Amino acid sequence: MGTLKTFILLAAMTALFMGVGYLIGGVPGMALAFVVAAAMNIFSYWNSDKIVLSMQGAKEIDPQTASPMLRTFAKDVALLADRAGMPPPRVYIIETPQPNAFATGRNPQHAAVCATTGLLGMLNRDEVRGVMAHELAHVKHRDTLTMTITATIAGAIGMLANFALFFGRDRTGLIGSIAIMIFAPLAAGLVQMAISRSREYEADRMGAEICGNPLWLASALAKIERGARSTINVAAERNPAMAHMYIANPLNGRGADNLFSTHPATANRIEALRRLAADMGVTAPQASPAMRREAGPWG
């Protein structure tokens, strides 16, 4: 059902893009919008990981020169990927004090996961494993490709809507053009948020299964929520269309609630993870035997 819902929402996003094209330029405008949307989707498919990582200022971890903590982090990601039946992704780091993480890539064979220095500094090792398992779940379900394409189309709808004031007035009039400028990006944003929210719960569930303890991720989410609300992620603020790719909303750094959210309420996600833990017979976020609960940055 989650896959079907995502497909329907993506179809709605493409239809909205074509509809704005029709309002501006009639049938030729709609046809042109369809061609542009197809071209953007193809470009995003092959370059989604490069686009996102570059826009967020991420740097790949080099095992030869990285610190012991980063080498351990990359090793843990590889172990989790093996447990999930996936090839190990490339591992990146972003220099920002805000605790957060995301994944990108068109499929498990071309994937990358990224954590902020704030995440590694605030969370203990098991909590970081819970977060990375969540991101690997996104990769396994190919949510990363879906969310990148969604962000690309949403940005294009906003750009196309701005053209309405200058090129669409003959068809829609001044009031109609202004309405398109306002409501088309709003509708695109709502669809984008719906896609993101529909995938987060499923990634939480699968991530908990990958790492073996839902309470690791539940504890991590609580810490990330507090940290994200008090710390600004500069790269994310510059590119807000990518906010839905993070495990928690990175735009909360200004301390004010957004009118619309790209993520489910953290309290609801934590409660769902606690119910899953009860179903799995897990009663405490106990450390795995191979990985003691060192405090961040793990000593």
Top mean-pLDDT range of 1-15, 36-50, 60-74, 156-170: 60-74
Task: State both tokens at 142.
Answer: 């190919």
Is it the case that residue 294 has pLDDT exceeding 60?
no
Task: State both tokens at 232.
Answer: 């600004």
pLDDT in tens, 9-42: 667 777 777 777 777 777 777 777 777 777 776 7
CB-neighbour burial class of residue 279 (10 A; exposed 0-12, middle 13-18, buried 19+): exposed
135 catalytic per annotation: yes
Residue positions forming the annotated binding site for Zn(2+): 134, 138, 200
On average, the pLDDT of the chain sits at 79
State how far the Cα of 167 lies from the Cα of 100, in Å rounded to an integer: 41
Residue 9's φ and ψ, nearest 5 degrees, are: -70, -40
Catalytic residue among 95, 127, 135, 271: 135
User: 191 vs 238, which has greater pLDDT?
Assistant: 238
Top mean-pLDDT range of 36-40, 52-56, 137-141, 261-265: 137-141
Report the pLDDT value the prediction gives residue 230, as an integer from 0 to 100.
82
State how far the Cα of 111 lies from the Cα of 239, in Å rounded to an integer: 21
Residue positions forming the annotated binding site: 134, 138, 200
Residues 6+ apart with CB under 8 A from 135: 101, 102, 103, 113, 203, 207, 247
State how far the Cα of 258 lies from the Cα of 277, in Å rounded to an integer: 30
Task: State both tokens at 25.
Answer: 């330029």
* Residue whose pair of structure tokens reads 């008090």 in the numeric block: 230
Report the pLDDT value the prediction gives residue 50, as an integer from 0 to 100.
84
pLDDT in tens, 166-202: 555 555 555 655 666 666 666 666 665 666 666 888 8
Report the pLDDT value the prediction gives residue 62, as an integer from 0 to 100.
93
Kindly report the CA angle at 137 between 10 and 116, in degrees rounded to 5? 100
| Contact between 40 and 101 (Cβ < 8 Å) | no
Report the pLDDT value the prediction gives residue 259, as an integer from 0 to 100.
45
Position 154: which residue type?
A: A
